[in-house]
Amino acid sequence: MPNNKQNISLVWLKRDLRLHDNEAIYNALQSGNRVLLLYSFENKLLEDDHYSQRHWDFVKESLRDLNARLQAQNSKVLVVKSDITAAINQLFQFYKIDTVFSHQETGIKITYDRDIDFERFCKNSLITWVQNINNGVVRGLKNRDKWFQSWDDYMIQDQIDFNPNPNQLLTTKEIEQLENYFELVDLNTNPQSPFQKGGTTIGLKYAKTFFDERHKNYMFHISKPEMARKSCSRLSPYLAWGNLSVRQVFQHAVLAKDGKPNRHLGAFASRLRWQAHFIQKFEMECSMEFMSVNKGYHKLKKTISEQYQQAWQNGQTGFPLIDASMRCLNETGYLNFRMRALVVSFFTHCLWQPWQDASHYLSRQFLDFEPGIHYPQLQMQAGETGINTLRIYNPIKNSTEHDADAIFIKKWVPELADLEIAFVHEPYLLTPLEEQLFNFKLGINYPKPIVELEKSRKHAAEILWAMQKQKDVQGESIRILKRHTLSNRKKLLKNS
């Protein structure tokens, strides 16, 4: 190890697992110091209920990809299992560190509290912590008056190239010497797992196939649970974990349009704006991780049913599209947006369960778990914002409209595969004679519906529509609209 402590700049990688268009890395390289890239598997996050092994495997795959890309620089990422402050304290034995670079993370409360502790640690250690905004999301906003223009301006700025000077990054040998003093993490993962693999290299492949060809059916298939798996971009995990920047993908979409009208790519680009809108909302209202953003709904009480929740989680509710969606999510980590909305609506409306009870389970299943999308969407689909149109999805209507041939249902609920199409959508309509004909017994081969659908939907609608008219809900709705919407974005206001 070096005898005279060299002053280095440290890049703390979090959900920005890329080299290209990474402002934290760029700023560190501009410091004039040699640079160390650090990723820390933090014990608090490893144990947090929001995350599961599928997330950490995606991170490991992303880090392996980073290291493969850094080989040309004779460098690698120092990957350790440690709290961030303990990791830096260990590094102090060998290097001087007066500046840490990272992005601002719009995360859950545990990461927010960690960052407060880290800011205190930096102050006490005489470290300057330089944080850059992430994907155009701005910290400390009081309102959104100029936010969209600011975001649009950010998206058209030049992407930041990764061009370190020779030997500016700590070498592989130097980092391997450091590894002797840390608890390390095995970056190997199961190559046969059914989840999308992490890393910029694979993310770029998904982007290429989408912009070259797959986008041509984007608008036609976006609501279809099976066809969306191909026609949607499938870039969400690469954006959530930072393998690609939003600006990189946005500009790729603009380039693919080539100045020509293209409703599919236009719709995709608008959804990138929509994504940023919700993350910005969560940045400004982070309490929605725990409670309704509209305080008027705090008085809404629901009776918790472990039986209902377990049936929903395991895809055993007796409603085929719900069950197919949950089994698919559990197995692959992905659902298209409409099915995500459907399973949350069913949980919160038909089963009349609090959205908070779905939060951790869904976050663990979604490979692309992004807190800034997760919580605003949970509350919107639960009907507890007071500003959105109340949508209580009908799983049967969605089934016949979006999986008419029951291809998706048959794939994920194979016990229904031999029934006629009409009964695949509604197996509870089988008569005793038809059950004999198909050698199928409801309640044995497949569950009976756990709730009466129309009765439960009506119950939820009556309560939630009545609450929207209450003075405290309406007062909160006005506050939310003032804080989060723009006068020239009426369409977004209506649908956000």
Tell me how far apart the alpha carbons of residues 474 and 467 are, in angstroms, rounded to a whole number. 9
What is the reported pLDDT for 260?
87
pLDDT for 47 beyond 80:
yes
- Measure Cα distances from 493 to 135, 351, 388 in Å: 21, 29, 8
Q: How many helices (H) and strands (E) are present in the chain, helices listed first?
A: 25, 5
pLDDT in tens, 58-68: 999 999 999 99
| 3-state DSSP assignment of residue 34 | strand
What is the reported pLDDT for 488?
41
Domains belonging to the chain, first-starting first, are 6-134 (3.40.50.620), 200-277 (1.25.40.80), 288-495 (1.10.579.10)
pLDDT for 492 beyond 60:
no
β-pairing, 78-81 with 34-41? Answer: parallel
- Measure Cα distances from 259 to 143, 250, 253, 262 in Å: 33, 14, 11, 9
Q: What is the mean pLDDT of residues 37-57?
A: 97
Nearest to 272 by CA among 168, 152, 386: 152
Secondary structure element (H or E) that encloses residue 132, with its range: strand 128-132
- Measure Cα distances from 422 to 193, 228, 319, 430 in Å: 34, 22, 13, 10
Residue with tokens 């109340």: 390
pLDDT for 437 beyond 70:
yes
What is the reported pLDDT for 489?
44
What is the reported pLDDT for 33?
96
pLDDT in tens, 149-189: 999 999 999 999 999 999 999 999 999 999 999 999 999 99
Tell me how far apart the alpha carbons of residues 320 and 299 are, in angstroms, rounded to a whole number. 33
Nearest to 98 by CA among 126, 132, 130: 126
Q: What is the mean pLDDT of residues 417-423?
A: 97
- Measure Cα distances from 134 to 88, 111, 149, 160, 218 in Å: 23, 15, 16, 13, 27
The string of DSSP codes covering 216-236 is: GGHHHHTT-TTTHHHHS---H
What is the reported pLDDT for 324?
98
Residue 350 DSSP label: I
Give yes or no for a contact between 358 and 45, defined as CB atoms under 8 angstroms apart: no
pLDDT for 328 beyond 60:
yes
What is the reported pLDDT for 3?
55
Secondary structure element (H or E) that encloses residue 412, with its range: helix 407-412
What is the reported pLDDT for 359?
98
Reported pTM: 0.95
Whole-number mean pLDDT of the chain? 95
The string of DSSP codes covering 142-192 is: S--TTHHHHHHHHHHSPPPP--PPTT-BPPHHHHHHHHTTS--------TT
Q: How many Cβ atoms sit within 10 Å of the Cβ of residue 204?
A: 18
In degrees and rounded to multiples of 5, residue 215 shows phi and psi of -65, -15
Secondary structure element (H or E) that encloses residue 420, with its range: none
pLDDT for 494 beyond 70:
no
Contacts of 437 (CB under 8 A, 6+ apart): none
In angstroms, what is the C-alpha Rg of the chain? 24
- Measure Cα distances from 29 to 158, 160, 356, 483 in Å: 17, 12, 42, 37
What is the reported pLDDT for 490?
45
What is the reported pLDDT for 486?
59
Q: What is the mean pLDDT of residues 430-440?
A: 96
What is the reported pLDDT for 483?
86
pLDDT for 495 beyond 70:
no
pLDDT in tens, 443-483: 999 999 999 999 999 999 999 999 999 999 999 999 988 88
Between residues 142 and 31, the one the model is more confident about: 31
Among 121-130, 139-148, 341-350, the minimum mean pLDDT is found in 139-148
- Look up residue 170 and give its two tokens: 């700590």
